Amino acid sequence: MIVPGDHAWSQAAREMGKELEQRTDGRYSVTLFPAGQLGSEAQMLQQMQTGALDMSFMTVAQVVNRVPDFGALFAPYLVDNEKQADQLLKGPAAQGLLEKLPVKTGTVGLGYGVAGMRMMLNAFPSDDLASLQGRKIRITPFPPVQDFYRLLGAVSTPMPLTDVYDALANGQVDGVDADLELVWKLRLYERAKTLLLSGHMMFPVVGLVSGRTWAGMSEEDRDVLRELTRKHLGELAAYYMAFGEKTRADIESEGVNVVEAGPDYFGDKLDQWEQIWIKKAPVLSELRKEAEAL
Ligand code: BEZ
């Protein structure tokens, strides 16, 4: 895992591991390496290809770098909240994307979960779109988000989560694209005092198993692993829905100014993003239709 040990994705992996051990009579168990102990997600994906690593709960952001179609999941305002994100990820379009993984990455995708909806935490007043012009914003580097910030006129600055706190302190970045959990658990609110509560994108995680590991598993064990991965990743949406309000209040109580923002804040930039990505990832039109029906 790239996330810290106390992140909800790590907790989900631990819970999954306990149940996996019971259900397979100890044939399988989970040893967790959080906080990027095995390297970057790109390195972990390579390790799964060679079979050096069996499994990962990985950001879909990393997968987009190999399979651009997954970029459609990051369409701004595709869904309103984590619950809708989870529902959409269980639908036919998102599930169909998983079928591309074995050929393109050498891994098998078992199911998705979510993180909190994306926001910005900024060290400058952020009352309108113009205020983002030329600002250095930390992003997770992958094309849909790079395009988003380029269109907004900001300077996107790729940076691992672990470096963000100091980078905000020394002015290397002016803001960060993140979610409420990260703002709170990494104490980023100590370094930037404006929370742009935009909820502009979902940020899914995918449970991946090395194709080599998968090939060595019985049908029965595969079914158990798939079921438990879906169960524990699927529970993340309820967690984020339940704790979002409280985390927001906790952050506000630390003297952070909350600016609420919806699609209008971004003007015609959203349309421009859509026009780029409908070509790069045509599955976007199917996802939009499914999302409208939620
Ligand atoms: C991020 O890069 O912002 C991120 C990574 C993993 C989980 C959630 C967010």
Quote the CA–CA distance of 154 and 150 in Å, as a whole number: 6
Please state, for a pLDDT cut of 70, what percent of the chain lies above it: 100
pLDDT for residue 174: 98
Q: What are the backbone dihedrals phi and psi of residue 192, each rounded to the nearest 5 degrees, phi first? A: -150, 135
pLDDT for residue 158: 93
Quote the CA–CA distance of 202 and 74 in Å, as a whole number: 6
Q: Which two tokens stand for residue 150?
A: 């380029």
> What does the pLDDT average to over 264-287?
98
* Nearest atom in ligand 1 to 2's CA: 6
Is residue 82 over pLDDT 90?
Answer: yes
Ligand 1 centroid – CA 7 distance (Å): 10
The preferred substitution site among 168, 182, 202 for testing ligand 1, maximizing ligand atoms within 8 Å of CB, is 182
Burial status of residue 255 (CB atoms within 10 A of its CB: 0-12, 13-18, 19 or more): exposed
Is residue 108 over pLDDT 90?
Answer: yes
Ligand 1 centroid – CA 35 distance (Å): 11
* Nearest atom in ligand 1 to 205's CA: 7
> What does the pLDDT average to over 245-274?
97
Burial status of residue 221 (CB atoms within 10 A of its CB: 0-12, 13-18, 19 or more): middle
- For tokens 């979960």, what's the residue? 113
Q: Which two tokens stand for residue 87?
A: 């529902």
pLDDT tens figures, 223-245: 999 999 999 999 999 999 999 99
pLDDT for residue 161: 79
Q: Which protein residues are within 6 Å of ligand 1, measured from CB? A: 2-3, 59, 115, 140, 161, 178, 182, 203
Ligand 1 centroid – CA 161 distance (Å): 7
> What does the pLDDT average to over 184-212?
97
Quote the CA–CA distance of 156 and 94 in Å, as a whole number: 27
Per-residue confidence band for 213, with pLDDT thresholds at 50, 70 and 90: very high
> What does the pLDDT average to over 14-18?
98
Ligand 1 centroid – CA 159 distance (Å): 11
Ligand 1 centroid – CA 272 distance (Å): 25
pLDDT for residue 226: 98
Ligand 1 centroid – CA 226 distance (Å): 23
Contact 79, 202 (CB under 8 A): yes
Q: What are the backbone dihedrals phi and psi of residue 263, each rounded to the nearest 5 degrees, phi first? A: -55, -35
Least confidently predicted of 73-87, 154-168, 169-183, 237-251: 154-168
Question: Atom 9 in ligand 1: which residue has the minimum CA distance?
Answer: 178
> What does the pLDDT average to over 46-75?
97
Q: What angle do CA 198, 137, 203 make, to 5 degrees?
A: 50
Quote the CA–CA distance of 43 and 62 in Å, as a whole number: 10
pLDDT tens figures, 109-162: 999 999 999 999 999 999 999 999 999 999 999 999 999 999 999 999 998 877
The residue among 121, 142, 110 whose CA lies nearest residue 40 is 142
Question: Atom 7 in ligand 1: which residue has the minimum CA distance?
Answer: 3
Question: Atom 8 in ligand 1: which residue has the minimum CA distance?
Answer: 115
Question: Atom 1 in ligand 1: which residue has the minimum CA distance?
Answer: 140
pLDDT for residue 262: 98
Is residue 168 over pLDDT 90?
Answer: yes
Residue 81: CB atoms within 10 Å:
16
Cα 89 off chain centre by: 12
* Nearest atom in ligand 1 to 177's CA: 3
* Nearest atom in ligand 1 to 115's CA: 8
Q: Could you give the 3-state DSSP secondary structure of residue 124?
A: coil
Ligand 1 centroid – CA 269 distance (Å): 23
pLDDT for residue 102: 98
Arithmetic mean of pLDDT over the chain: 97
Angle of the 82-89 helix axis to the 283-292 helix axis, nearest 10: 120
Q: At 31, which amino acid appears?
A: T
Ligand 1 centroid – CA 167 distance (Å): 16
Query: Could you report how far apart the first and last alpha carbons of the chain are, in Å?
Result: 30
- For tokens 């080599």, what's the residue? 212
